[in-house]
Amino acid sequence: MSTNKITTIGSLVQQGKLDEARGILAEALSGELSDIERGQAIVTLVTLYLQVKNQINKEFLADIKKAVETLKAVDAVDRTVSDGIRLEKVRASLS
């Protein structure tokens, strides 16, 4: 597999054109690969995997941070309501 094909496959995957990348990869793998070509293909696939995984993790982390902020806001409201209820109970017990 030529370096050009490996680059093309990587570019297509990054653009989300998975069917096109799959077709080029299948065509390229139908022939014999030298050790260098096999190594290049493995490095490219691992690199792409890590890029996709990192993007997924970044998005997951952003979602988690949003959820934490929402939970903090809910906790603050809960605390305010609970404090108000306790205050009213104290006032009622004093009257």
State what percent of residues in the chain have pLDDT above 70: 96
53-90 pLDDT, tens digit each: 998 999 999 999 999 999 999 999 999 999 999 999 99
pLDDT at 91: 92
| Rg, the chain, Cα only | 28
pLDDT at 57: 95
How far is it between the farthest Cα atoms of the chain? 91
Q: What angle do CA 84, 87, 92 make, to 5 degrees?
A: 125
Do residues 8 and 24 touch, judged by C-beta distance below 8 A?
A: yes
15-34 pLDDT, tens digit each: 888 888 888 877 777 777 78
pLDDT at 93: 92
Q: Where are the alpha helices (DSSP H) in the chain?
A: 3-14, 18-29, 35-94
Do residues 33 and 56 touch, judged by C-beta distance below 8 A?
A: no
